[in-house]
Structure 1
Amino acid sequence: MARSPSSSVQAAREALAARLRDIRLDAGLKAREVAVQAGWHPSKASRLENAVTPPSDADIRDWCRICGADDQAADLIAASRSAESMYVEWRRLQRTGLRRLQESYVPLFERTRTFRIYCSNVVPGLLQTPAYATALLTEITNFRQTPNDVTEAVAARMDRAQVLREGDHRFAILVEEAVLRYRIGDAEVMAGQLGHLLSIMSLPAVSLGVVPFTASRHMWPLETFSIYDSAQAQVELLTAAVNVTAPSEIEQYARAFERLSEAAVYGATARTLITKAIEALG
């Protein structure tokens, strides 16, 4: 089984710590000497070198100044910020509500040409109806106890979904059959959402596949993830968004998507599964 999706975060932190240690060794200094010259607690330099404590921008500048490597400070600060942005708690992203988070994806969506999206729990955001999005975002707001701006967040999500019909984009989207059955909102909301999926399937830029309960599969159900071109993958956990940028890890998600695609059904067969889910609503 693949390692935790947050592994790239720790790997990035450890790589940064190793660079700090190499700079110190090149300067011929001991860790304690760096700490003393920086005015830190004696153990801080060791914590930084062992990726126990993430360095602040000021810590990196001080470290490089003391070790005579000022020219490396900017690159190290950039690497540090990148590492810290890989794993971001939803609580931090949603501290002012959900609208700004929806809007923050617009630049990424506009520059991405090929989207690969896999959802095992809910209908992907780009395919949601206003009623379904309202029901889902209301539950998220209540669970995370964030400011309630659901109406504005839904409007932003609908605006964002225009990318399906505008520009030069392609969407390969997979959902587990369970997504068609999990009831978000009432039966009327679900019927409208499932009907919307049937209409979305006719869009030329969209390929929608459903992985049936009965599929003979070579990839187990995973956490929801999206791949943006081949530059970035985002994994959605309960508590955080994990932004994967390491090529080797993006490749793993791409390979998983390929295997899930092989287990999925499309076209008329997928429509039948969606129609049966609508009929099951009673």
Structure 2
Amino acid sequence: MSSDYLTSRVTLGARLRELRAEGGMNGKGFAARLGWQASKVSRLELGKQTPSPSDLRAWADAAGRPDVAAELIGRLNGLETSYRTWRRQLSGGHRVRQEVAIAETARTRTIRGFEVALIPGLFQTAEYARHVFTANAAFQGTPQDTEGAVRKRLQRQEALYEPGRRFRFLVWEGALHVLVCPRAVMAAQLDRLISIIGLDTVELGVIPFSAELRRTPAHGFWIYDTRLVIVETINAEMWLDDADSLTLYERAWDWLAEAAVYGHQAHRLIARARASLDLS
């Protein structure tokens, strides 16, 4: 059983526990309402047992929240494969995926990432993230749970301030200019990116348009320590933990990093992008 499967199951269990607690029920009372053994409720909440779709529907009903049954089943569907279509993974909304990201970040010391057209989620402002989530849900035809997703994305960003962590990110210069939001929102986002450069835990490189490259930018990817690569495409997200994939993506990151600029030079490119917004 893969580590991402187990992590996702723990996250699902935490969501079940949250729903039970919102109804003011303890584990024993909740089990009695369901007609289950208390040990089953405990195993599901701790992520030690995989629920069935009927278990999740019963849980939602017992918690007085039948409206979340589809969300819970969407989470269950996302457990089973390393090739996860967005329609399937986001069937319960973006908040689900953000909770998985929080859990994965918590068990990682060093994250390396590369983004072609977006500011990395760990560095996004609430307003920028709001526009990204809204547009993506419309494109994928999945539930709009923008505010919950934004809150979880900002919660994940707390890791940026934890000593001992490293966040090494590369962005293509084009990501500083792509307008997925109004210009004023983009201006605030670029200001935020400049402030990120000063964090001890963050290393931010910008790959200029003019850079000579050994590896052309193709798609975004994130590397978690040396155990997992997450790759995003238009229709799916791939979770890769085999040695060959890890080696290949680490090489891609290293080659792209060779062309990046940092510190004052990165600051200058970000400032130039902000000036081009012409907000006067």
1:95 to 91, 111, 134: 91
CA distance in 1, matches of 2:166, 2:246: 18
Do residues 216 (structure 1) and 212 (structure 2) align?
yes
Cα distance in 2 between the residues matched to 1:205 and 1:280? 29
Partner of 1:152 in structure 2? 148
Which structure 2 residues correspond to residues 1-282 of structure 1 after superposition, within 5 A? 85-282=81-278
Q: Distance in 1 between matches of 2:178 and 2:266?
A: 17
Q: CA deviation at 1:84?
A: 5.3
- Structure 2 gaps of 5+ residues are 1-76
The alignment's C-alpha RMSD in Å is: 1.6
TM-score of the aligned structures, taking structure 2 as reference length: 0.70
Amino acid at match of 1:242: M
- Which amino acid in the other structure matches residue 232 of structure 2? E
Matched position secondary structure for 1:264: coil
Structure label with greater radius of gyration = 1
CA–CA distance in 2 between the matches of 1:121 and 1:86? Answer: 24
- Output one character per residue of 1:166-218: Cα deviation in whole Å (capped at 9) or x when no partner: 25210110000000000121110100000000001100010000000000111
Alpha-carbon distance in structure 1 between the residues aligned to 2:80 and 2:240: 12
The whole-number CA distance in structure 2 between the counterparts of 1:161 and 1:269 is 25
Amino acid at match of 2:102: V
Amino acid at match of 1:133: A
- How far apart are 1:255 and its partner, in Å? 0.6
Q: Distance in 2 between matches of 1:84 and 1:255?
A: 28
| Per-residue deviation, residues 197-245 of structure 1 (Å, max 9, x unmatched) | 0001100010000000000111111210000000000100000001111
What's the counterpart of residue 4 of structure 1? none
Q: 1:173 aligns to what SS in structure 2?
A: strand
* Structure 1 residue ranges (4+ consecutive) displaced by more than 2 angstroms after TM superposition: none
> 2:103, 2:133 → 1: CA distance?
22
How many residues are treated as equivalent by the alignment?
A: 202
What TM-score does the superposition give when structure 1 sets the normalisation length? 0.70
Aligned to 2:168, what secondary structure does the other structure show? strand
Q: Partner of 2:206: helix, strand, or coil? A: strand
| 1:46-102: CA deviation from partner (whole Å, max 9, x where unpaired) | xxxxxxxxxxxxxxxxxxxxxxxxxxxxxxxxxxx9x95210101111001111110
User: Any idea what SS the aligned residue of 1:235 has?
Assistant: strand
